[in-house]
Structure 1
Amino acid sequence: MRGPGSNTGGNRRWRGLALQALLVAALAALAYGAATNAAGKLARQGIVAGFGFLDRAAGFDISQSLIPYAAATATYRDAFLAGLLNTLLVSGLGIVLASGLGFAIGIARFSPNAILRGLARAYVELFRNVPLLLQLLVWYVAVRVALPEPQAPAAWRDAVFLTQRGLFLPRPDLSAGGWLVPGAFAAGLGLSLALVLASRARAARRGRGLPVWGPALALTLGLPALAWIGLALAGRPVPVAWPARGPFDIEGGLALQPEFTALLAGLSTYTAAFIAEIVRAGIASVPRGQAEAAAALGLSRARTLRLVVVPQALRVIVPPLTSQYLNLTKNSSLAVLIGYPDLVHVMMGTVLNQTNQAVEAVAITMAVYLAISLATALAMNLYNARIVAVGRR
């Protein structure tokens, strides 16, 4: 026999489901109305809604591109890919550099050397409290002023040139069989990661892991070198475009522009200040007795940090570190200020002005940043869950 409160609980459940259904329907109606209104206004202006414009000829050049890009033949889809790859490039390198610099400064905050501690603290206070926009302008101006004029470039064996217009390097063509070289590099990274995991598993079982740094370096550098040599021996060498002096500027090769350098330096140094504070807080959360016990066992200060303190601090460091990685990726959109052709500069600037496809350009840009952020958060959450699980054993 049902109690007197059973019907009341069931009614509350159905009322909750009905309210949620009404909310979803209202949101769907609002989205449909907004889409219909936007489509109507675009039609009255003679603009065809949809993403078909991506296949039209772009007709504009992009100063730095990781893929073959020519203004005469490129489409808006090619421009989108070039901007996306530029965003991923500066974000990925910025995360690596900011992490290394931030961890170094955060650990330096606990140095027994008073001067080193003071310099680390001064760095954090300086870069954390100056707006990133201003820092990017300072880096951009400083980089351009410090470099030599295009008429008198700094050269190394006529293969590498440095001017105010960028750093010009030899550019290998990876469009044909050359893709095996970066593929071998990726395989080397994967094998190195597997070696690190195997070393940690062995250390947990036997108290001593496997040698990691030497084999990992050999894998990440040796495999691409073997792939390069193998292609050459097979009669399919990877062609290389060498930079050369032209009548007005350096021509050919791979150009790393001052805009890229300034953006990368600004993002890395700014984010490193926040990461340093996160690392400092994580290390401070580890009980002092852990370091004292390690010292009693004869471990040096460096080994104590690497084997005892930092692994425990990571459980505190990783969650806020994820937010800093996401902020760095989103802050890369400030590249439009200094003219670096990232996704926002290409899609929300040139493409939008030429096509007037405002809704589509905004939707593509938002979807890309959302996908990058979700992927970064997922990877960091999986790593954090692994750290927490290891810590509970």
Structure 2
Amino acid sequence: MNAALLNDPRVRGLFYQGLLIAVLGALLIGGAYNAYVNMVARGIPMGFGFWSQVAGFDINLHLIPYSGVSTYGQAFWVGLANTLLVAAIGIPLTTLLGFAVGLARLSPNWLLSRSALLYTNIMRDIPLLLQLLFWYNAVLKSLPGPRQSISVGGLVFLNNRGLFLPAPVPLSGAPWFAAAAGAAALAALLYRHWARRRQELTGAQAPVGWVSAGLLIGLPAMAIAGFGAPFALDVAKLSGFNLRGGIPVIPELAALVFGLVTFTAAFIAEIVRAGVQAVAHGQVEAAAALGLHRGLADRLVVVPQAMRLIVPPLTSQYVNLVKNSSLAVFVGYPDLVQIFAGTVLNQTQAAVQVMAITMAVYLAISIAVAVALNVYNARHALKER
């Protein structure tokens, strides 16, 4: 009986899997015990009591309230918010630039396609860290001082202290403008849904683009005409040795975003190019036979099919952008790694707890990005009939 069980492949598989789990568990327990003994011997804290202790250091960029008397826990949330800020800015910009360069690679214009090819080759072959240091030290730090700022229309200013954008200040007409814009967006979506259903039933096409543009422009314009301008602009002005007012973007953030966007967009461009070229040419010919012009054929036939091939590798590039943002420490941007895994770790010596929390945060962000794109991919994946 025992011999028969041992000769059963399923039983043997379960036995070896159980043995592997036992070995891994023993290694994990042994490592945890060894870490505990060494932490006790060296007086390293093992709990999370440091979380509520006063941090005692300042952070030059914080999206949430923070000061030198805030706690280490508040410093963690500042670092997390700054990391999410880079991801929120970088992912949309990278997508736009990557798709633009990828489509440029397929352009029949020789100069445009070769320029896109040169861009992708250069950006992919230079290490990201070198690109970040280039943007920070060679480009942004070499800009003129605040008194000689580069001005764009008297609204945007660029100098070695950062980029200063005009800040919108709400006026009395702002609620009406927001309501009109929301109503216009809802009306445009409803009209688009109605037009699609009508086309499926009758084949007749409706001018969705023109109607949507009219709604999105017309209704807010009527609100402005009736209730006045919704916003005023707070433009940065020279005060002492620096500009004050507006929305300041520190050089560290600008260098990090520029580097991440230009680097990651080169990989996305190749993904887009490969995805579009993978669509059978017969699909384009079939669309032309139905009377669709090139732009409409690309939008309705080529791009939807290409997206099924583009989204899976695109997910990896988004995740890489989030993870690569941890290189912010080399340009001095106060992200989660610099604040929490750097300053907080050095002051508290709680290395295990701090690094575990930091790794868990990056893991959670990466999983969230991957899940969101996997949901999109599942909804648009080719279904077998």
TM-score range with shorter-chain normalisation? 0.7 to 0.9
Structure 2 residue identity aligned to 1:128: R
The alignment status of 1:265 with 2:258, answered yes or no, reads yes
% identical aligned pairs: 51
Counterpart among 368, 379, 384 of residue 386 in structure 1? 379
Residue pair 2:101, 2:116 contacting (<8 A) in 1 also: yes
Partner of 2:42: 45
Residue number among 262, 270, 274 corresponding to 1:281 in the alignment: 274
Alignment partners' CA distance in 2, 1:329 and 1:19:
37
RMSD value, Cα: 4.1
Aligned with residue 57 of structure 1, among 48, 54, 59: 54
- How big is the shift at 1:256? 1.0
Query: Using the alignment, how far apart are the partners of 1:189 and 1:347 within structure 2?
Result: 44
| Residues 161 and 168, structure 1, Cα contact 8 Å, conserved in 2 | yes
Greater shift, 204-213 or 119-128, is seen at 204-213
> What is the SS of the residue equivalent to 1:66?
coil
Report the Cα distance in structure 1 between the residues aligned to 2:374 and 2:92, rounded to whole angstroms. 18
In structure 2, the partner of 1:233 is none
How far off its partner does 1:280 sit?
0.9
Secondary structure (helix, strand or coil) at the match of 1:80 reads: helix
Q: What is the CA distance between 1:193 and its match in structure 2?
A: 11
Question: Deviation digits for residues 241-284 of structure 1, max 9, x if unmatched?
Answer: 98664434345664311111111111111111111111111111
Residues 42 and 332 of structure 1: is their aligned pair in 2 closer, same or farther, counting only changes over 3 Å? same
Distance 2:75 2:12 in 1: 50
Q: Which residue of 1 aligns with 2:162?
A: 166
- Bigger drift between 326-335 and 14-23 goes to 14-23
Which residue of the partner structure matches residue 116 of structure 1? 112
Classify the secondary structure of the residue corresponding to 1:65. Answer: coil
> Given residue 103 of structure 1, which amino acid in structure 2 is its aligned partner?
F
TM-score (norm. length: structure 1)? 0.79
Q: Which residue in the other structure is 2:370 paired with?
A: 377
Indicate which of 285, 291, 303 corresponds to 1:298: 291
Does structure 1 conserve the Cα–Cα contact (< 8 Å) formed by 2:185 and 2:216? no
Gap regions ≥5 residues in structure 1: 175-179, 231-236
The reply to whether residue 20 of structure 1 matches residue 17 of structure 2 is yes
The match for 2:78 among 78, 82, 99 is 82
Q: How far off its partner does 1:321 sit?
A: 0.9
Shifted more, 342-351 versus 362-371: the winner is: 342-351
One-letter amino acid of the counterpart of residue 320, structure 1 = P
Q: Is 1:308 the counterpart of 2:305 in the alignment? A: no
Q: Single out whichever of 60-69 and 363-372 deviates more from structure 2.
A: 60-69
Give how far 1:360 is off. 1.0
Matching residue of 1:337: 330
CA distance in 2, matches of 1:200, 1:17: 57
Q: Which residue of 1 aligns with 2:359?
A: 366
Whole-Å separation in 1 of the counterparts to 2:190 and 2:259? 34
Q: 1:261 to 1:246 in 2, by over 3 A?
A: same
Identify which range, 289-298 or 257-266, moves more after superposition: 289-298
Q: Please give the alpha-carbon distance, in whole angstroms, between the structure 2 residues aligned to 1:42 and 1:246.
A: 51
Matches within 5 A, 1:80-159: 80-145=76-141, 147-153=143-149
Q: Which moved more, 1:335-344 or 1:7-16?
A: 7-16
Contact 2:94 2:264 in 1 (8 A): yes
CA distance in 2, matches of 1:74, 1:150: 31
Q: Unpaired runs of 5+ in structure 2?
A: none
Structure 1, residues 270-300: CA drift from partner, whole Å, max 9, x if none?
Answer: 1111111111111111111111222233322
The offset of 1:49, in angstroms, is 0.9
* Letter paired with 1:82: V
Q: After superposition, what is the alpha-carbon deviation per residue over 1:283-327, rounded to whole angstroms, capped at 9, x for unaligned?
A: 111111111222233322222211111111111111111111111
Q: Distance in 1 between matches of 2:112 and 2:19?
A: 61
* Secondary structure at the counterpart of residue 381 of structure 2: helix
Q: Contact between 1:259 and 1:339, CA under 8 Å: does it hold in 2?
A: yes
1:213–1:379: structure 2 CA closer, same or farther, 3 Å change rule?
farther
1:234 corresponds in structure 2 to none
The CA distance in 1 between the partners of 2:214 and 2:325, in whole Å, is 30
User: Hey, what does 1:211 align to over in structure 2?
Assistant: 208
> What letter matches 2:373 in structure 1?
M
Mapped contact 2:105–2:273 kept (Cα < 8 A): yes
Aligned mates of 2:185, 2:51 — CA distance in 1: 35
The worse-fitting range, judged by mean Cα deviation, of 348-357 and 153-162 is 153-162
